[in-house]
Amino acid sequence: MAIHELLYFPVTALGEPIRLALAVGGVDFKNTTTRNDDTFHERKKSLSPLGEAGQVPILVLPDGKALCQSRAIRGGRLRYLGKVCEFEGTPLYPTDPLAAYEADALIDLADDMRSPVASTFGIADQAEKEAARAALWAEGGKQAKWAAALDATLAKDPMATLTIGNLYAFCMVNMFRTPTFLDGVPPGVFDQYANIAKHHDWIANLAPVKAYYADKEEREAFKPLAAEPAAKKAKTDA
């Protein structure tokens, strides 16, 4: 029987909330990466609705239709996964308009925190790149600013009903919670944020999330609950 397939790099960035939503929703999927598919880059171009310009993540539906644009896949206008995937009988994208707004707003805020790192991807010099990433998390840094806002927002979240917004925020926090595939992020950037920690632990301990990460032995970054102690050894893992 045909199943869903996700094409993405073997890292916990934009593709990870999609993997996690599928896992939480109990939707079986093939996790295709550059590590297990030698034709990854050719398939990316041929499958993407955007052709040559195509990027990943790409979600291929069981009938062969390929979806791109991570926001449209998990949230946004199409809200495909948020409608298809349920947790404890409730769709991950809320049907109530205000709850849906909260989920979207959480995704946007987590993206505000994530997106400044994009400015460092093109820095060729390793030391310069790591310094630029550390500066984003230093006092007054762009990512530190949004982490504080995320913490304040999560203080108001009852952390009772799982939404695509919670999953997205969880994954974006894990992207910067060492060990991470991103080099140069200082260990402990969320140490001062009790609500981010509480939110992390809530989601990391949900049965399908625990089950999903249980067999990701080869990648510390895929094991949120095991993360921070190893971080101090500055382990990186792509």
Ligand X SMILES: N[C@@H](CCC(=O)N[C@@H](CS)C(=O)NCC(=O)O)C(=O)O
Residue numbers at the binding site for ligand X (CB under 6 A): 13-14, 55-57, 68-71
When CB distances to ligand X are compared, the closest residue is 55
Cβ neighbours for 212, distance < 8 A, ≥ 6 positions apart: 19, 20, 23, 24
Cβ neighbours for 185, distance < 8 A, ≥ 6 positions apart: 133, 134, 137, 176, 178
In angstroms, rounded to a whole number, what is the distance separating the alpha carbons of residues 97 and 101? 6
**Least Å from the CB of residue 53 to ligand X:** 8
Nearer to ligand X, 78 or 148 (CB): 78
HSE-CB for 103 with a 13 A CA cutoff: 25
The three-state secondary structure class of 96 is: coil
Nearer to ligand X, 28 or 42 (CB): 42
**Least Å from the CB of residue 97 to ligand X:** 24
**Least Å from the CB of residue 55 to ligand X:** 3
**Least Å from the CB of residue 14 to ligand X:** 5
Nearer to ligand X, 13 or 231 (CB): 13
Tokens of 232: 């101090």
**Least Å from the CB of residue 11 to ligand X:** 8
Tokens of 86: 């349920």
Nearer to ligand X, 52 or 217 (CB): 52
Nearer to ligand X, 30 or 41 (CB): 41
**Least Å from the CB of residue 171 to ligand X:** 12
In 3-state terms, the chain is what percent helix, strand and coil (to 5)?
50, 5, 40
**Least Å from the CB of residue 13 to ligand X:** 5
Q: What angle do CA 10, 185, 68 make, to 5 degrees?
A: 35
> Which stretches within the chain are classed as H helix?
16-24, 40-47, 70-74, 80-84, 97-114, 126-137, 142-154, 164-176, 194-204, 207-214, 227-231
Nearer to ligand X, 56 or 169 (CB): 56
Nearer to ligand X, 13 or 167 (CB): 13
